[in-house]
Amino acid sequence: MAQQKVSYTEENIRSLDWKEHIRMRPGMYIGKLGDGGAPDDGIYVLVKEVVDNSIDEFVMGNGRKIDVKIKDGVTTVRDYGRGIPLGKVIDCVSKINTGGKYDSKAFKKSVGLNGVGTKAVNALSDHFLVESYRDGQRKKAVFAKGELLKDEKVAKSTEKDGTFIEFIPDGSIFKNFNFKVPYLQKLFWNYCYLNRGLTIHFNNEKFFSENGLKDLLEDNMESEPMYPIIHLEGEDIEIAFTHIRSYGENYYSFVNGQHTTQGGTHLSAFREAVAKVIKDFYGKNYEAVDIRQSIVAAISIKVIEPVFESQTKTKLGSQEIEPNGKSIRAFIMDFLKEKLDNFLHKHPEIADTLEKKIRESERERKELSGIQKLARERAKKANLHNKKLRDCRLHLNDPKIDRAEETTIFITEGDSASGSITKSRDVNTQAVFSLRGKPLNAFGLTKKVVYENEEFNLLQAALNIEDGIEDLRYNNVVIATDADVDGMHIRLLLLTFFLQFFPDLVRKGHVYILQTPLFRVRNKKETIYCYSEEERVNAIEKLGKNPEITRFKGLGEISPDEFKNFIGPEIRLDPVMIGKDAKIEDVLEYYMGKNTPARQEFIIDNLKVEEAVI
């Protein structure tokens, strides 16, 4: 059969202006869009890009305070830096490749998107206002979706020098978005940890850090440190670390103030260097995995002209600390060889505690080795028969796919519930893991139980997280249980399992709770699914006289045809987040330890807790 010819002439060539390109391909500039349910959703990137410019001013010694307000979807950011030069205000927010960051003398270690950030915010906002105050004068401009609506002449002003930006994300691009307070709080705390002396006021909350990365670890550790935090500083580098009673390795890494959530060359260099220096200090051939087991660490470096592996800068790709300079690996290795080795010599009591922890990890690893081999064989055999896992075709660790953020595994209980999801899922990106009854309460148990318990062993194998979450097969791990007492108990047991043995899954924002409707209200013309009693009352009022009302007691009662509505594009997921002041040890003890009247009272009063949104 002859292939049909497609015309290709001058008429097929099209040039897009800056805002059209950003709006057509927003993912190239801000990553995934989302609705605010994940920390890397686009609405947070918009906030970050505006604040980054204010941070650059602080780094250059201009303005020690930033005011941020977010209410009803409207974001305002006011800094007290030098202000954008008045004749370039419009260019700086609407012309790609325009900005002060191209002058390496002024911004050689900048954090922003190099002339793209505020333009992306402007193009992706229904409303965007910018005002610059300099030397008693003001310049103001207003845009909508990148189009200039108002260009006011320079006028006198009594405002202090600085910049004010206000924007509302475009509702047609960011559908049904909500800003979640914990994600914003984490963003602003990180800014302050990395910029000591900076104060950020966010709504009615103040953010300030006196001790940098040491404060970051103290505020975010889920259990007490085994020894005082080791805090080391040098030119263009700051490191803090300790060990806690937990599984895995927990890192916070930053480059030029940018939170590199996916790590990169600097984090790899730190992991290698800290193991080598500690091994050399003791003069013993300890395994790196035993040295780093249970470590919690933060590293921040400054790099001239850094290269990142994505536009949103979540992973550092640079090999050198500056063009044609020392490699990042050598820079970090040399720093730790001097600073960490000196520290351990000066603090023998910390060195002794650290070595005891390494030996403890080594002993546990060797005890587990035989059990692990048998467990892997059982998991492999079970997966071949596909008894519990209904897998999908695409996976997170496949570098060829471009839908990584969509990969999801639903963990559910019972044949009827898993059957409904299995029949209605997207077989390309959605997998289903079916539990048999209630899982074991893992609180206080050692990792040995993960391999000896069939449910835990097979779940671990399905997620591919035995050696950490680097090879996690699904971006979203969704707990899908019935909205009753038994379903909530299973949910708590699963969360206990993850927090006890794989806390990184929760820390890195991979674990969610699936929200499914409690009621269906319908008449002959319309069907409304309701997720709360309030929604049910509103639906009855809307549909009028005597609508049919169905109460869904379990997931298995929802037909596959209906389930498609709840796990498709309009899926409702509640992220599981660890609060800044919460310690995993205390949380698990409260919920899963010995029964207490206080816990019983809490559960009765909080059968369903709504997350705070603004």
Average pLDDT over residues 340-366: 94
Co-location of 49 and 171 in the same domain: yes
Whole-angstrom distance, CA of residue 115 vs CA of residue 76: 20
Do 236 and 167 fall into the same domain? no
Is residue 614 situated within a structural domain? no
Do 96 and 188 lie in a common domain?
Answer: yes
Distance, in Å, from the CA atom of 389 to the CA atom of 95, rounded to the nearest integer, reads 50
> Which of 334, 364, 394 is the C-terminal boundary of a domain?
364
pLDDT at 334: 95
Q: What is the DSSP letter of 244?
A: B
Q: How many domains does the chain have?
A: 3
> What is the domain-level CATH number for residue 471?
3.40.50.670
Q: Cβ contacts of residue 514 below 8 Å, gap of 6+?
A: 410, 478, 479, 480, 566, 567, 571, 572, 573
- Are 202 and 184 in contact, with CB atoms under 8 Å apart? yes
Average of pLDDT values for 528-547?
91
Check whether residue 80 and residue 186 sit in a common domain. Answer: yes
Question: By the 8 A CB rule, do 32 and 172 touch?
Answer: no
Give the closest residue to 499 by CA, choosing from 443, 446, 432: 443
177 vs 107, more confident: 177
Residue where a domain terminates, one of 207, 233, 253: 207
Is the predicted pLDDT of residue 159 greater than 60, yes or no? yes
Range of 5-19, 210-224, 270-284 with top mean pLDDT: 270-284
| Domain identity same for 223 and 199 | no
CB 576 within 8 A of CB 568: no
Give CA–CA dist 139/167, Å, rounded.
17
Classify the C-alpha dihedral 272-275-280-286 as positive or negative: negative
Final residue belonging to a domain, choices 149, 178, 207: 207
Q: Is the pLDDT of residue 382 over 90?
A: no
pLDDT band at residue 22 using 50, 70 and 90 as cut-offs: confident
Based on the domain organization, do 147 and 241 belong to the same domain? no
Range of the domain at 188: 18-207
DSSP string, 139-157: EEEEEETTEEEEEPPPEE-
Report the CATH number that the domain containing residue 235 is assigned in CATH. Answer: 3.30.230.10
pLDDT at 613 over 80: no
pLDDT of residue 105: 46
| Angstrom distances, CA of residue 304 to CA of 131, 212, 318, 319, 322 | 30, 21, 10, 11, 5
- Whole-angstrom distance, CA of residue 98 vs CA of residue 108: 16
Q: How many percent of the chain have pLDDT more than 90?
A: 44
200/70 same-domain check: yes
pLDDT value, residue 97:
59
Q: Is 176 left (phi over 0), alpha (psi -120 to 50) or beta?
A: left
The pLDDT value given to residue 222: 78
> Looking at residue 614, what is its pLDDT?
43
Pairing of strands 519-522, 548-551: antiparallel
Compute the chain's Rg from CA coordinates.
26
- On whether both 259 and 180 belong to a single domain, the answer is no
- 613 inside domain: no
Distance between CA atoms of residues 230 and 244, nearest Å: 13
Whether 25 maps to a domain, the answer reads: yes
Domain-located, residue 562: yes
DSSP string, 185-222: HHHHHHHHHHSTT-EEEETTEEE--SSTHHHHHHHH-S
Q: 370 lies in a domain? A: no
Query: Does 229 lie in the same domain as 201?
Result: no
pLDDT band with cut points at 50, 70 and 90 for residue 113: very low
pLDDT band at 585 (very low <50, low <70, confident <90, very high): low
Q: Is 60 exceeded by the pLDDT of residue 271?
A: yes
Which tens digits make up the pLDDT trace of 412-441? 987 777 888 889 999 999 999 998 878 888
- Is 98 within the bounds of a domain? yes
Please tell me the predicted confidence (pLDDT) of residue 104.
Answer: 47
More confident residue, 316 or 610: 316
Query: What per-residue confidence (pLDDT) applies to 7?
Result: 58
What is residue 579's predicted lDDT score, i.e. its pLDDT?
A: 66
In a domain, 547, yes or no: no
393 and 342 in a common domain: no
- Which of 126, 128, 133 shows the shortest CA–CA distance to 155? 133
- Whether residues 217 and 199 share a domain: the answer is no
Burial class (CB in 10 A: 0-12, 13-18, 19+), 299: buried
Distance from C-alpha of 290 to C-alpha of 354, rounded to nearest angstrom: 11
531 within a domain of the structure (yes/no):
no
| Residues 321, 193 within the same domain | no
